[in-house]
Amino acid sequence: MGGRDKLLELIDGTPIIARQAKNALAVADNVLVTLPPDRPKRLKVLQHLRDKLNIIEVPGADQGMSASFRAVSQLDIPGPIMVLPCDMPELTKELLDTVWLTYEGNPNSIVRGAAEDGTPGHPVIFPQDLIERFATLTGDEGARAILKQNKDRIVKTPLPGEAALIDLDTPEAWDCWKASNRL
């Protein structure tokens, strides 16, 4: 990101990591945020929410999302987990609500946000019985192995446009998205 931290990019004056944490808190009672220990500014922008969030420092960011998944697998989590990457600015509270409502009607399923054309994306809700499998994940593939092994349990929730797919990883992508959204 050329010295910029993609999770500190501002949307309406708020760093996206704080915005997405607030969106998640509006949908769920228990919100877990995994952070690498070498990014103290991320923790700082979440300080005002710290009493409402469960923040876990996860070393090994070079291992991709799998390090976070493995850390989560070690926790005693009483219910499902919604995976919400913070670099996806189109995922609003309303869209998280939509995916959550689908899960409530399909509590044994993996519920996955999808683009209007059906292309699978995020967020993804995993039922509790699959959380222990996070311990086996490696690399930057996220939970793709679990999704492949359980494709018969996936229920897609169509979201507007490409909201479930827009993942901004470069300064150019952020600048383009901000310009197109007049931010």
| pLDDT string in tens for the chain (183-residue length) | 567 899 999 999 999 999 999 999 999 888 999 999 988 999 999 999 989 999 999 988 778 888 999 999 999 888 899 999 999 999 999 999 999 999 999 999 999 999 999 999 999 999 999 999 999 998 878 899 999 999 999 999 999 999 999 999 888 898 899 989 876
165 within some domain: yes
1 within some domain: no
Query: pTM for this one?
Result: 0.92
Count: domains in the chain:
1
The helix (run of H) or strand (run of E) holding residue 147 is: helix 144-149
Largest CA distance in the chain: 43
CA–CA separation, 140 vs 73, rounded Å?
Answer: 16
The domain that contains 65 carries what CATH number? 3.90.550.10
Residue partners of 24: CB distance under 8 A and separation at least 6? 31, 82, 84, 96
Domain extent, residue 34, equals: 6-180
